[in-house]
Chains A and B, each alone.
Chain A
């Protein structure tokens, strides 16, 4: 046999295979970050020695600049590394946090925040009211082009400043006119355009956080990098490897550091849901915060690690009222949708079938919700067909636009089948997000008959949701314009008393979904958030309606 060379080759092959399989046995659960020993502890156990957890946030936070951040991942991290003026308690009422007191004047037009004495930045500087004035004006400034600048429009002069065109107007003067003023080092005075009962609550939003002026001016766009950033909250940003990992550690000099138990929170950014679940099951991650893929939910639902929270959001289909003009057809289409079935079989996270537009969890929900006769949980095909028959000249060929994220496809397919029974043939047009947004305008592209969107609340008041359907709303792609509706909303903006306001909201919902409802929108369900949490943190890792988690409250048990 020509043995030698042959065996040489075989040896090479075996060696290579051995190299490849070299990880055999030596490797334990992926050790890239100091993870917790994933023990399935009992409830109410004692504190573990190592108070470290690994969380999957799901995406790379696009920005940790409070002025620019507009997504939940950034919001979550920001709210834990910075100190907001107010925070929301379990009932979502604002409580003073970095602010010692918050006072609203008699007429509701002036809000005064008085800061605590012990606020500091990580570099030793004290946090002052001037910091807040600078930050809020910066967010509204036209140069920054902040998405959330509109949150400040309730403040006198803010909208003007934000719309300033540097070529024509004197923007510096407009900045001065914006009514946010640091009366002294500890007092911040804000003047509102109208009384807004929700303003204080809104101040809990991350866009109202303060930034450290010198840092921003020194590093410009890069001020949020881990090496440069200066923060003032319970945790500090220790490491941020873009698209890979983001780690925060406890800041021992925070004013309330004694009650913070966690020493470190490692963040992963696994976007793909299935991959994230695998990472959890392999012990590499302790909490999946970013939602589970619906298809995995039936399998995971009964496991002890499964967790579900109510969200503040509505999943809906908007109807182009200029294309589908007969309100009876819209009502029929609403009736035909088998909401509960979709929830049970497609969305699979125990969402709540929508009976109006304002979601469950919103204060005043019971008063506001119209319990629309056209939005029954199970759908009512009988009645839908009857109603459809009454339509004089129905539009039987419609386009249904969705963006191409996985869940939406399945839901669209289910609804497409339902409408088929009404004699409506729907063509599902799937587009990727940007294309989609362009198509929707407003005003929407002529080809759009029905489109899918979801609306998540920014703050906890129904106006946030109901103002979408006003004539001028930049998020109203239905061509729906009803002066009566607009009037109700306007009135509500001015009404301070909660109950009175809820009544107005109820009126608005009636206009949309009541017996004589216009039905420009077909709400489908109210969001829930799903996740997986190890039993050692399950009790204390709580996510509120706005999808936020307060890491100062999390404790790892044995």
Chain B
């Protein structure tokens, strides 16, 4: 009996090693776009300091949800790479550790990027890329990008010929994709969540049914009615057609540029055309590094982030692999000779950070449904938006109506 016990003991001990955060070793979660570059960084870090770093690859959409289960169970990573709008849920669940060193180096970053990763005064992420949508146009079809939306509509009307499969303007807003529709809403003063006195977002002040949003959505409806926007275009169709040279202008972000280049399209990027004289303000999304609150290696992770990641070389390397505008000022300067970078930076400069509070979860679907009903002419904009907001308020639990 005793012998058996002795035999089992090493097995038990081995079992305790586990897969999660282990003292002395860093585990990084990232998606497949960033994994290769992180792998190289990891090797450099290990070479310099002798600390092993392991990169675990997950689907981008899974990282946040998985952290909620794995972190408290002790199986989570030390560092994760994700989007700033994850902050809401992650901080509300106590899953992230503040990055105190950021307070000292925040001037090295684009201000809106740091703001996006802050919750109140605390900074929870090390931003490395910003993204916002802009107008991407095919120079062969559209030599000069429109400056106003009226011009865009004219150009689009001339180019659109559904029989021949050619379109002047495509957008995946009807998918529905509320993210891409925000510039319309913000141009007229619309907003999602208003700010309360202390600067944080007030989840019960929803601007989606107010006059600004209404006017924005009416413009979208006008595009559909004038035959300029097909009422069921989705993202894959939009980019697919553009990459085949059959679309003049599309509205999307830097993630699409890679494929466009590969398709050999002669493209240009411009700011989103003004609407009735107003500047559209797209959502700005920020990608960055975050630290798990359940990490056993917080100081080590912070060293990795501060010494290694927050350097011009690393930021440039990340940019090479994932062509979103760097959030690190030194790197941004270096690449700003690239017209693509300039154009997206200009667009983002007008932008508004995407709200990151957890209540956003209830907004996307309701907003999307309203958009779909409006675009397919099943409901008029005013009542569709009103219904959506009523729904959001009810599920969030806002007082009164």
A binds B: no
